[in-house]
Amino acid sequence: MQDSLWQAVLGEIELSVSRASFVTWFKNTRLLRYKDEILVIGVPNVFIKQQLEQKYNSLVVSTLSKNGISPQRVEYKIHSGITPSRKEEDDTVILSDKSANQVSSRPNVTTLTHTYRQGLNDRYTFENFIVGSGNELAYAACQAIASSPGTKYNPLFVYGGVGIGKTHLIQAVGNAVRGNKPGAHVVYVSTEQFVQEFLDAIRFKKNTDFAGYYRSADVLIIDDVQFIAGKEKTQEEFFHTFNALHQANKQIIISSDKPPKDIPTLEERLRSRFAQGMAIDMQNPDFETRCAIVQTKANTIGATLPPEVVDFLANLIQTNIRELEGALNQLLAFCDMRGLEPDIGVATSLLGGNRTRPKHISAKQIVERTAKHFQIPLEDILGPKRDKDIVVPRQIAMYILRSELHLSFPKIARELGRKDHTTAIHSVEKIEKEANYDSDIRSAITEIKERLYV
Ligand code: ADP
Ligand code: MG
């Protein structure tokens, strides 16, 4: 088993625990070994080891088994090679005594502190963010901010559903600012963490350090601000931080799953502060964007996916890009492990089953939809005509019957009014091949399929 498979397992775990738990307990783990039925996972410190053993082991075991791995035993081992990146350490100034208080008897306090505070992740950049109709406005605003922070759109408030790239985009701003100006103090914090740090700061009488840290930011990025709902004291603290930064023309970037007006129990004065700059709605990615994301991620890993697999994944998961990535990783890891090519057959058998399609599609619907797409009468596609502009649609219909419904060739032939099933075999093979280089055929297939499922 390779680390890529562990990454796929992590992708799924990420979906079933809270973000804070994932970051704290799972993010810095690696697969160290899988041999003789024993799977060893490397963890950064004893604290995380204990949590994983005591609290999360069954989740780990069941997610592994969903991915086809059932070792006799899973072990967690402290592994010195796993430390957060330098950048994350730079962000970790004020809370070291807080963590020391929590785990004073443990030797590797610093590592724990670092893991606890996320900071910016280098992985999130503008370069690897795919721009499409749902996110282009937010992208443009973020780029403008990155090139001159604090001058326009202040604050920038980005909102939208789960897994559509809010965190990626706002962290990309942070990374770009740091890249342009290495000394800039860029602070990224999740709201959960902000709340926690604030409470701890009060408890350990460190609120001046806390306030000082956030107020010294050149760019403050605060993620998932909806979690501030109902937390009055934190809201008040945040209000002051906000004002101090805003007055000093420091950039503030906020993300949320809903617009300011819909966050319950948000103090009015904060609400109006949020509305002062620019609020941008990030929408679900369209089909093309989803395809581009799958294709790009696969290429980055060095995998090549046949176009129909790209389409399949993009059809399978339509809103949450994190899930889309998870499905891709799962497929690639599965193929890698078994030495298979990631073709449509493997993809459907691995992923097709556990997510039901919006509705059941019949052979008749596919043939009708194809005829309609090419604007030819149904009786022509089913009839004897051999003109090219009838033959190609007929072959495409056969191909879709095969790839979507997995019908046998004799059955496919019958659906198109043919007697000889070898015609169906040839047609399917031909389209399969042509779809690799003919973008017209590829987009026709994609469009027909997309319409089938909406
Ligand atoms: P959110 O914060 O909105 O819940 P994230 O920013 O965490 O979503 O995105 C989820 C995953 O999808 C991340 O791994 C991110 O890199 C990826 N992602 C989201 N949108 C895009 C995009 N447009 N291009 C490339 N990757 C994306
Ligand atoms: Mg997020």
Enumerate long-range contacts of 142-147, CB under 8 Å, 24 or more apart.
142/169, 142/170, 142/172, 142/173, 142/253, 143/176, 145/173, 145/251, 145/253, 146/172, 146/173, 146/176, 146/177, 146/180, 147/176, 147/180
What residues have their beta carbon closer than 5 A to ion ligand 2?
166-167
Q: Strand 251-256 and strand 219-223: pairing? A: parallel
Q: Report d(CA 24, CA 115) in Å as an integer.
A: 6
At a CB cut-off of 8 Å and minimum separation 6, what does 332 contact?
A: 4, 8, 298, 301, 303, 342
* Residue 304 burial (CB count, 10 A): 10
Q: Report d(CA 29, CA 431) in Å as an integer.
A: 44
Q: Report d(CA 24, CA 172) in Å as an integer.
A: 21
Give the helix/strand (H/E) hosting 396: helix 388-405
At a CB cut-off of 8 Å and minimum separation 6, what does 168 contact?
A: 124, 129
Cβ 297 under 6 angstroms from ligand 1? no
Residue 38: φ, ψ to 5° = -115, 125
Cβ 191 under 6 angstroms from ligand 1? no
Residue whose token pair is 């046998």? 408
Cβ 49 under 6 angstroms from ligand 1? no
Atom 11 in ligand 1: which residue has the minimum CA distance?
A: 322
- Determine whether domain 2-78 maps to CATH 3.30.1330.10: no
Topology at the third CATH level for domain 363-452: Chromosomal Replication Initiator Protein Dnaa; Chain: A; (1.10.1750)
- Determine whether domain 287-355 maps to CATH 3.40.50.720: no
Q: Report d(CA 273, CA 93) in Å as an integer.
A: 28
Cβ 130 under 6 angstroms from ligand 1? yes
Q: How confident is the model at residue 1, as a pLDDT?
A: 61
| Residue ranges per structural domain of the chain | 2-78, 86-281, 287-355, 363-452
Pick the closest to residue 413 from 429, 401, 430 (CA basis).
401
The atom number, within ligand 1, closest to the CA of 169 reads: 6
Note the pLDDT tens digit of each residue in 348-396: 888 875 444 445 789 999 999 999 999 999 999 999 999 999 999 999 9
Cβ 162 under 6 angstroms from ligand 1? yes
Atom 21 in ligand 1: which residue has the minimum CA distance?
A: 165
Q: Report d(CA 278, CA 186) in Å as an integer.
A: 20
Strand order in the sheet with 38-43: 30-35, 38-43, 73-78
284 CA from centroid of ligand 1 (Å): 11
**Please, what are the averages of pLDDT over each run of 10 residues along the chain (454 residues)?**
77 81 85 88 84 90 84 87 43 34 34 48 93 94 96 94 94 96 92 87 83 93 92 91 94 94 88 91 92 93 92 90 90 86 90 56 93 95 94 96 87 94 92 83 84 72
Cα-trace Rg, the chain? 26
Q: Report d(CA 350, CA 324) in Å as an integer.
A: 14
Cβ 223 under 6 angstroms from ligand 1? no
**Domain pair 2-78 / 86-281, same fold:** no
Out of 126, 321, 325, give the residue to mutate to test ligand 1, the one with the largest number of ligand atoms within 8 Å of its CB: 321
CATH of 86-281, one of 3.30.70.100, 3.40.309.10, 3.40.50.300, 3.20.190.10: 3.40.50.300
> Measuring CA to CA, how many Å separate 402 from each of 258, 356, 363, 369, 391?
42, 18, 10, 15, 17
Pick the closest to residue 64 from 75, 48, 79 (CA basis).
75
Q: How confident is the model at residue 181, as a pLDDT?
A: 92
Cβ 7 under 6 angstroms from ligand 1? no
